[in-house]
């Protein structure tokens, strides 16, 4: 990576998988926040049930995605030489 590309990364060191996964995690977090806002003022009913299902799915996705990110981050750190 050159300096311009390095400046745009979240982690140092990093790899393409981590950067892409962190971008997806950020998008999913924004989706969850949007669902929470919509659910806060919504009365019971079919629309609420649908949104609650979407919230559950999004939270499950966040959980799985964050586990994969942590595993890859740990793997990357393990391969670094010790100072």
pLDDT at residue 81, as a whole number:
84
**Interacting residues of 61 by C-beta distance below 8 A, sequence separation 6+:** 28
pLDDT at residue 23, as a whole number:
95
Q: What is the pTM of this model?
A: 0.80
pLDDT at residue 43, as a whole number:
87
Per the model's pLDDT, the better-predicted residue between 80 and 71 turns out to be: 71
Q: Are 57 and 70 in contact (CB under 8 A)?
A: no
Within 1-83, residue ranges assigned H as helices are 3-7, 16-40, 46-78
CA distance readout (Å), 26 to 33, 43, 45, 49, 62:
11, 28, 29, 25, 9
Q: For residue range 18-52, what is the model confidence (pLDDT) as tens digits?
A: 999 999 999 999 999 999 999 998 989 999 999 99
- Copy the structure tokens of residue 20: 């892409």
How many residues make up the chain in this entry? 83
């Amino acid at each position: 990576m050159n300096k311009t590309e390095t400046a745009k990364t979240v982690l140092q060191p990093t790899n393409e998988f981590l950067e892409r996964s962190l971008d997806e995690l950020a998008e999913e977090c924004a989706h969850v926040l949007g669902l929470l806002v919509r659910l806060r003022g919504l009365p019971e009913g079919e629309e609420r049930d649908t949104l609650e299902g979407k919230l559950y799915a999004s939270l499950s996705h966040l959980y799985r995605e964050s586990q994969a990110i942590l595993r890859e981050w740990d793997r990357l750190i393990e391969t670094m030489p010790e100072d």
